Structure 1
């Protein structure tokens, strides 16, 4: 099961379970802070060609495997409808070079991609409260581990994100949360000192499900 499918299934289960049980709940409102603890799947669609230093074709392409990790999202409501969110977490990804007769691991790296968004909550006083958002992220690669005789350097940088999600009240200040983000980010990968290179469009889906507490 992919990270995206896993998180979507978990989110659907949480939503169905809590929607039927919700009783007295605390509506979202200006000045509230919501702390969401989530399980998050990060899945990249990267499939970019690996080229020589002068741009020649090698017949190889990049594959970036998904990962599932715990993350934390902190929301602050500027108004009843408008909130800002900061998402903190880190994931580890395996990078492979693949081709007609090749499938080799070249690198493993941890990624710290904090995401900050501005959100609009359509029905903050409702039990089921959807929202959309947009913002920026900073993609930082660290603790890289080269594999199979390759050396890989990935450039850090800034991307942007689109977001959609919903909160489902459980009871009191507790809620269930399902959140989907699409992050748009491209990095330059240099392999073996630049002998090989790739412009990798990571563009990951970040799919999360969890529970929140409102302060």
Structure 2
């Protein structure tokens, strides 16, 4: 958080002496460092064949990954953006059996499109956006605690949801920017653990991550 605040201050100072970003470029590409901060709490237990503690609750771990954002400008104010990244998460119990690993190395592809409105306030460009997101889970595995309980396979459902976005682009010259971006996703998943082909646990989870990014961009 301190690093993000420092970067914002540097960006604000830069904008005082930097020219406005060129408006004729239609495509903008950003290279970002992104913190993915998911929730992961259990919303509902649908199947429990092993007798889980009634107080069981879970949380997914945070991760920081490189991200590429590609944006097309229909007008100087209106653009469409998509992002490319893969982030990996474990899910551990926080109550009931604290510390027990239930999900291991689940890889998430957050396919996201946001329609953005840019305020273009002089030399800087604050923006807001919203759009659909489809979470695709890949290579998810039962955690060590789930394996100890007999689980040999895990499936997490791919789901459609919503992303809200806000951020700021600060020009350094007519094609190079510094960017800060925040997204909040509203999306869940159903996790199903199997033992010898039989469902033994099935739970609904709120994923709902904050996704916070800082980096640089090029417009051409």
Would you say same fold, with TM above 0.5? yes
Unaligned 5+ segments in structure 2 are: none
CA separation of 1:75 and 1:64: change in aligned 2, threshold 3 A: same
Q: 1:198 and 2:203 equivalent?
A: yes
Deviations 1:18-61 (A, max 9, x none): 43345453525365211110000111123215636269873212
CA shift at 1:210, angstroms?
0.5
Q: Secondary structure at the match of 2:99?
A: strand
Q: Secondary structure at the match of 2:76?
A: coil
Q: 1:212 and 2:183 equivalent?
A: no
CA separation of 1:49 and 1:201: change in aligned 2, threshold 3 A: closer
Output aligned runs, 1:1-215, within 5 Å.
5=1, 9-22=2-15, 23-29=17-23, 31-48=25-42, 51=45, 53=47, 58-59=53-54, 60-108=56-104, 109-123=106-120, 126-148=122-144, 149=147, 150=151, 151-192=153-194, 193-215=198-220
Which is further off, 52-61 or 110-119?
Answer: 52-61
CA shift at 1:204, angstroms?
0.6
Superposition RMSD in Å: 2.2
TM-score, normalised to structure 2's length? 0.85
Distance 2:22 2:132 in 1: 24
Write out the 4+ residue segments of structure 1 that deviate beyond 4 Å after TM superposition: 54-57
TM-score, normalised to structure 1's length? 0.86
Q: Secondary structure at the match of 1:45?
A: coil
Q: Secondary structure at the match of 1:10?
A: helix
Q: Is the 8 A contact 1:42 1:67 kept in 2?
A: yes
CA separation of 1:17 and 1:62: change in aligned 2, threshold 3 A: same
